[in-house]
Structure 1
Amino acid sequence: MQPTIAIAFKIPEDILSGLRTWAHVVEHQDATALPASQWQTRLNQADGVLISVFNPVSADQLTHTAALRMISSVGVGLNHIDLKACQEAKVHVANTPGVINHPTADHAFALLLGASRNVVGADRLVRAGQWTQPIAPMMGMDVHHRRIGIVGFGGVGQQIARRAIGFDMRVHYHQRHRLPTAQEQALQATYTPLSELLQISDFVVLQVPYNPSTHHMIGARELALMPKHAMLVNTARGGVLDEDALADALEQGRIAGAALDVFENEPHINPRLLQAPNLLLTPHLGSATAATRHEMISMAANHLHQFFNE
């Protein structure tokens, strides 16, 4: 008997066709998200599900899912899934690591460059017809030969470091465990305690996983350590940053600017962020290239195939 696989979002037709060869697929081919009640109904009936970060799975939901055996999530972070409840319910969970390393690093650097050179503001100025003299009125901040501090030095963080080297930047990193010396040398990266990293970096990029120990790890105290000219980039998870503390720092001019691709309650944005000065915002685009998303969804579908067929 074929397992029932429920899909929470629209996926490419070739991957959908592959799933249909071995499973009964309950698809969702609408661009809008399923209402919570409909998603619960599908969870109740499914043996396996294919979800994204925008489809949370809570302990309460799992109490009604007697058949559910496998959750395959598109993305690296798993903070949208109650892993302890899944373990107790004997529901296997898989994600798609590795695939996002390069595109997320690309986007982190796009945010860093966009914020430092005020690309969005400059575009608005030109479109508004306010460029009236040969020399543009906006002065940006140099990126080359500056110091970058990368908080979280896994696959994405290390790719950010490789890009920084191309800009002749000095790379510092912080994470729970220091890398072997040979790996540090290959990445031209210096391990630095977090407080020191914040004090010496011109650009701070957050790329740590989100969990209880990293919740609001960057708050008012940490932002106060940063130089006034420094900029913060978050391409990790929204919950690692205290958004109100960031709004305070920007409003008071205590740091020069910031760029965020992730938010604590996304897709809902803290209203203070929408009003904060010198802040560049993008809607969780770290892995948003056509090739990357296709590979991620394909990997998630393969996890389901392996679980139910091998």
Structure 2
Amino acid sequence: MNKSPLPLVVMTNVVFPETVALFEGVARVVVNDRPEPWPADVMREHCREAVGLMAFMTDRIDGAFLDGCPRLRVVGAALKGFDNIDVEAATRRGVQVTICEDLLTAPSAELAIGLMLSLGRHMLPGDAGIRDAGFGGWRPVHYGVGLADAEVGIVGFGRVGQAIAERLAGFGCRISAFDASPGAFPERFDASVARRGLPELLENSDFVVLALPLTPTTLHLIDASAISTMKTGALLINPARGSLVDEQAVADALEGGKLAGYAADVFECEDWARPDRPDCVNPRLRERTASTVLTPHLGSAVTRVRREIEASAARSIIDVLSGRQPAGAINVPADTGNGPDTEMRRTS
């Protein structure tokens, strides 16, 4: 009797060769070899026979997509946030979903600090000035805001928010945080981080740093109304999810002088789960080069970390295909008759 062909695993973005090598003898692998995401129809065709899927930020995994993948058993997300995946739809269809819970924490916190320093100290306008006009020596220009003695408010105090607070400890700033989740403030922060309600935090902070997941509750948490309560001249930092802010409202606040600056590594146009998401970064933000720092989603863009993220997602997929409980599981799939030894799952 001929041995059954290996199951198909699809990776929707460019990955390291070491990641592909992990599947040797376990699965056939199809990889997107270009930095641009596949068009939706191309992705559906690649995934039609897939048993495992390594998903990334650029993918929208919803019920309609899953219905076109009747053999799919596991979505191993190379992500921490999973707002682009309909977990309930996956659960109903017997599909395991896993995430990388903590690998993105440190690099995301590091980038948040970098955004704060770059925006507050006018590093990009200074760099541009040297490149455009040369440099004749010190001049009394580009005076900004430092972290020493500043009031820094962190909105969201999960792992990333806590990591940001830990890294700010040596800068001599006063740190406060808001989080609506019970038990969000470990005892180790009792002496270093003041717990505040969101209105009080916004009103008193020189820097407001967002460290929240995107949910229906946090969508446009920072809108025109919230910005109106902020300290005039405050700096807003968003390394978390683009749609936590209303980019139009931020542009209005920059133009009107309510906000002195906005730094973002994430943008509303990236939030694939929103059917009304804009198709590009707000042009008014892009035009304000003196008061914005905009980076192309570099939060986890550390080579070592990206290797670890891919390997983690790959191991989760392999575990499911091998009948083992994967690390990073965020759902308990419905029993659809798809046991660990079943090659494929057929929809009824």
> What interval of TM-score do these two structures reach, taking the shorter chain for normalisation?
over 0.9
The correspondence for 2:320, drawn from 298, 302, 307, is: 307
Identity of aligned residues (%): 32
1:287 matched to 2:300: yes
Return the letter of the residue paired with 2:282: N
The correspondence for 2:47, drawn from 40, 43, 57, is: 43
Q: Which residue of 2 aligns with 1:183?
A: 188
In structure 2, how many angstroms separate the alpha carbons of the residues matched to 1:5 and 1:134? Answer: 57
The correspondence for 1:270, drawn from 266, 273, 282, is: 282
Q: Which residue of 1 aligns with 2:236?
A: 232
In structure 2, how many angstroms separate the alpha carbons of the residues matched to 1:90 and 1:179? Answer: 31
Q: Which runs of 5+ in 1 are unaligned?
A: none
Q: Which residue of 2 aligns with 1:210?
A: 214
In structure 2, how many angstroms separate the alpha carbons of the residues matched to 1:175 and 1:33? Answer: 34
In structure 2, how many angstroms separate the alpha carbons of the residues matched to 1:104 and 1:142? Answer: 20
Q: Which residue of 1 aligns with 2:67?
A: 63
Q: Which residue of 1 aligns with 2:275?
A: none
In structure 2, how many angstroms separate the alpha carbons of the residues matched to 1:117 and 1:18? Answer: 44
In structure 2, how many angstroms separate the alpha carbons of the residues matched to 1:119 and 1:107? Answer: 15
In structure 1, how many angstroms separate the alpha carbons of the residues matched to 2:76 and 2:321? Answer: 12
Which 10-residue stretch deviates more, 120-129 or 264-273?
A: 264-273
Return the letter of the residue paired with 2:117: L
The correspondence for 2:10, drawn from 6, 10, 31, is: 6
Given the superposition, is the C-alpha separation of residues 291 and 181 from structure 1 closer, same or farther in structure 2, using an over 3 Å criterion?
A: closer
The CA deviation at 1:25 is 1.2
TM-score (norm 1): 0.95
Whether the 8 Å contact between 1:148 and 1:164 is mirrored in structure 2 is: no
Higher helix share: 1
Given the superposition, is the C-alpha separation of residues 272 and 163 from structure 1 closer, same or farther in structure 2, using an over 3 Å criterion?
A: same
1:53 matched to 2:52: no
Cα deviations by residue, 1:220-240 (Å, 9 ceiling, x for unpaired): 111111111210000111111
In structure 1, how many angstroms separate the alpha carbons of the residues matched to 2:99 and 2:113? Answer: 24
The CA deviation at 1:184 is 2.5
Q: What are the residue-to-residue correspondences of 1:124-273 with 2, within 5 Å?
A: 124-129=128-133, 131-132=135-136, 134-177=138-181, 178-179=183-184, 182-185=187-190, 188-266=192-270, 268-273=280-285
1:90 matched to 2:94: yes
In structure 2, how many angstroms separate the alpha carbons of the residues matched to 1:19 and 1:301? Answer: 8
In structure 1, how many angstroms separate the alpha carbons of the residues matched to 2:25 and 2:92? Answer: 31
1:104 matched to 2:98: no
The CA deviation at 1:5 is 0.4
Which 10-residue stretch deviates more, 12-21 or 257-266?
A: 12-21
Aligned length: 309
Return the letter of the residue paired with 1:196: E
In structure 2, how many angstroms separate the alpha carbons of the residues matched to 1:144 and 1:305? Answer: 48
In structure 2, how many angstroms separate the alpha carbons of the residues matched to 1:25 and 1:19? Answer: 7
In structure 2, how many angstroms separate the alpha carbons of the residues matched to 1:180 and 1:105? Answer: 17
Return the letter of the residue paired with 1:275: E
Counterpart secondary structure, 2:75? strand
Whether the 8 Å contact between 2:73 and 2:320 is mirrored in structure 1 is: no
Q: CA RMSD in A?
A: 1.5
Q: Which residue of 2 aligns with 1:28?
A: 32
Whether the 8 Å contact between 2:233 and 2:257 is mirrored in structure 1 is: no
The CA deviation at 1:199 is 0.5
In structure 2, how many angstroms separate the alpha carbons of the residues matched to 1:32 and 1:22? Answer: 27
In structure 2, how many angstroms separate the alpha carbons of the residues matched to 1:83 and 1:270? Answer: 29
Whether the 8 Å contact between 1:62 and 1:86 is mirrored in structure 2 is: yes
In structure 2, how many angstroms separate the alpha carbons of the residues matched to 1:84 and 1:196? Answer: 35
The CA deviation at 1:133 is 5.2
The CA deviation at 1:55 is 1.4
Q: Which runs of 5+ in 2 are unaligned?
A: 271-278, 325-348
The CA deviation at 1:35 is 2.2
Counterpart secondary structure, 1:60? helix
Whether the 8 Å contact between 2:266 and 2:297 is mirrored in structure 1 is: yes
Whether the 8 Å contact between 2:81 and 2:213 is mirrored in structure 1 is: yes
In structure 2, how many angstroms separate the alpha carbons of the residues matched to 1:133 and 1:98? Answer: 44
The CA deviation at 1:21 is 2.5
